[in-house]
Amino acid sequence: MLGHADYDTLVFASEDLELTRRLVRAYSDTQQPWMDAVDGTIGRRLADIVGRSRLVLEEMDATVVLSRRFGPGELGWGYAHNIADALGRSGRVERRELDGWLAGLGRLDGRGAFLFSLNSYAAVCRRR
């Protein structure tokens, strides 16, 4: 089995849809220091990767993780802060813009309107 999240599918309900789209795309394409390479869309490419290998794809499955709370220990909170930290370190986005985005997510949570989701994909394979 091969599995991976597809970071280009990160969804945040936010006060600024265009900013959120820009941040998700930038995060998906940002190589962090601990990475050898970056491919934020690898989850959706698993079937192709298997097809070019000595494996046969038996089944594909997708899982959506969903979070409705924005606070420490919650998945959406963790991803949002990782996005802000990674993009802030890379210099691709100004820190004040990232801080404003995080504050907006907190305001949404305060009124019960926060939502986060992420798609993960799994490829079940067998040897040829």
What tens digit of pLDDT does each residue of 9-68 get? 999 999 999 999 999 999 998 776 766 777 888 899 999 999 999 999 999 999 999 999
- Count how many Cα atoms sit within 13 Å of the Cα of residue 35 in the half-sphere of its side chain: 11
Percent residues over pLDDT 90 in the chain: 84
User: What's the pLDDT score for residue 36?
Assistant: 78
How many angstroms separate the CA atoms of 24 and 103, rounded? 16
- Kindly state the average pLDDT of the residues 106-113: 98
**Could you give the angle at which helices 17-28 and 75-90 cross, rounded to 10 degrees?**
70
How many angstroms separate the CA atoms of 4 and 1, rounded? 10
φ and ψ at residue 86, rounded to 5 degrees = -65, -45
User: What's the pLDDT score for residue 102?
Assistant: 98
How many angstroms separate the CA atoms of 7 and 79, rounded? 10
Average pLDDT, the chain: 93
- Please choose, from the candidates 88, 127, 125, the residue with its C-alpha nearest in 3D space to the C-alpha of residue 2: 125
User: What's the pLDDT score for residue 35?
Assistant: 61
Q: Tokens in use for 11? A: 């969804």
User: What's the pLDDT score for residue 29?
Assistant: 83
User: What's the pLDDT score for residue 59?
Assistant: 97
